[in-house]
Amino acid sequence: MRKFGTFLVIFVLALAGGVVGAVGYDQVKGDDGGKTVVQQAPLSAAPSNADGQAGGDGTALTPAEIYAKAAPGVVLIQAIVTETTQGVFGEQQQQGVSTGTGFVVSDDGYIVTNAHVVEGAKTATVQFGEDKQINAEIKGIDVNHDLAVLKIDPKAHALQPLKLGSTKGLKVGDPVAAIGNPYGLDRTLTTGVVSALARRIDGLNGFKINNVIQTDAAINKGNSGGPLIDAAGEVIGVNSQIQTENGGNVGIGFAIPVERVKSVIPTLEKGGTVQVAYLGVTAQQIDDKIASAIKISKGLLVASVDPKSGAAKAGLKAGDSGAYVQIGDGQVDLGGDVILSVDGKELDTPQQLQDYIGDKNVGDVVTLLIERGTKKMKLKVTLTNRPTAVTSTNDQQQSPDQQP
């Protein structure tokens, strides 16, 4: 159940940062009588970005330097959100305060945060440290990727935009830092490493968000929408969710990659709607059980086709043979088309299909090589815009795993 911007399930939207993480220190001998001077070590001893540079001159920044550089551009966001609930007397509306983090991305006053921080709100305020609250306009919300853009009057406060970096070349083990407002403790710094790459998490509309960064930097309630920063002091992601059993941080946090942020900012700044390419099929990986029944060892068995999708218009068909195979708690008809490849790329899992389509644009045409019975054929499919919420057909497997 979601309440005022928080998922109270396995994945908790980190609607508020964590305790200060440990940082490294070096002991350096001084020249004054052999005294030992303790100096903070860089977040990384080696460059970490795609160009082999860190900190702009090939050196990594210390956590203190990252904080000094980025914290002035990080804000506390508060929004009055309205939530409709179903009670014994019918629908009822409740209001509450949603609190999260955001960061400045331009001198024009644009601020990036998570969609779930401001979803359901008409207005919001931002606050730079101990300064007064500033009214912010909610320019656009992208529920597909849990991102939103706010705007404040650039004259209302001296702005220090954060630089958007890149995840190209990012590796597991690379150091990162997170700045946010956990439990109202403004501008808290935590540090950690990249724990994993290419994770998948649930979006607000039920579809998966792909290529998410996993980190062990402490993220808690209030960190949502805050920046995940690399050793060069550049933003590589937007902190969005944690995986937890008790609502608190257990060292598993997730951040939306900065490339996705860059791609949606222009649309959201204009108040537009972000479109996501959609094939419109539910497919099942062919395992040994299915392979022995249909005599096809590779590909994806089509379980259902959205009748309004480009796939349906191109003639892709789900099964109606009445011969089923049990998959988890459901059944899949064995008579459906088998997708062997898309644009010549062979597919082994539904996730590969989803990832490939996710990198396309609405209106793009893809070519599916399918096998129907004993015949192979090619279908050209024009990709449509993804629905606002998951239906029975969502370009994923029949019973999508809820874990990333």
Between 333 and 160, name the one with better pLDDT: 160
Residue 313 domain boundaries = 277-385
Which tens digit of pLDDT belongs to each residue from 284-308? 888 888 888 888 878 899 988 999 9
Q: What is the structure's pLDDT at 174?
A: 95
Which is more confidently placed, 55 or 123? 123
CATH number at residue 296: 2.30.42.10
CB 5 within 8 A of CB 15: yes
Tell me the mean pLDDT in the region 113-129: 91
Task: Return the active site residues.
Answer: 116, 146, 224
Query: What's the rounded mean pLDDT across residues 360-386?
Result: 92
C-alpha triplet 220, 276, 118: angle, nearest 5°:
35
Q: Tell me the two tokens of residue 85.
A: 């609930």
Of residues 11 and 158, which shows the higher confidence score?
158
User: In this structure, what DSSP letter does residue 164 have?
Assistant: B
C-alpha to C-alpha distance for 190 and 183, rounded to whole angstroms: 14
pLDDT at residue 5, rounded to an integer = 37
User: Is residue 252 located within the same domain as residue 341?
Assistant: no
In sequence order, the 6+-apart residues with CB closer than 8 A to the CB of 379 are 311, 314, 315, 316, 367, 368, 370
Q: What is the pLDDT of residue 25?
A: 33
pLDDT value for 400: 26
> Which residues neighbour 373 within 8 Å (Cβ) at sequence distance 6 or greater?
none
Q: Indicate the residue type of 71.
A: A
Structure tokens, 98: 């949603």
* C-alpha distance across the termini of the chain, in Å: 19
Judgement on whether residues 231 and 270 belong to the same structural domain of the protein: yes
- 167 and 264 housed in the same domain: yes
Higher per-residue confidence, 14 vs 163 = 163
pLDDT attached to residue 294: 83
Which among 241-255, 287-301, 322-336 has the top mean pLDDT? 287-301
How many domains, the chain? 2
303 in the same domain as 266: no
Q: With respect to residue 95, please indicate whether it lies within any of the assigned structural domains.
A: yes
Predicted pLDDT at 389: 67
Q: 207 vs 214, which has greater pLDDT?
A: 214
Weakest mean pLDDT among 230-239, 366-375, 382-391: 382-391
Residue 218 shares a structural domain with residue 352: no
370: which strand partners?
A: 339, 377
Does residue 202 have a pLDDT over 50? yes
Structure tokens at 340: 């062997």
Query: Where residue 246 sits, what CATH number does that domain have?
Result: 2.40.10.120
Q: Across the chain, what does the average pLDDT equal?
A: 80
**Model pTM?**
0.74
What integer pLDDT is reported at residue 21 of this predicted model? 33
- pLDDT higher than 90, residue 141: yes
Mean pLDDT highest for which of 81-90, 206-215, 245-254?
206-215
* One-letter amino acid for residue 258 of the chain: V
Q: Is 118 exposed, middle or buried (0-12, 13-18, 19+ CB in 10 A)?
A: buried
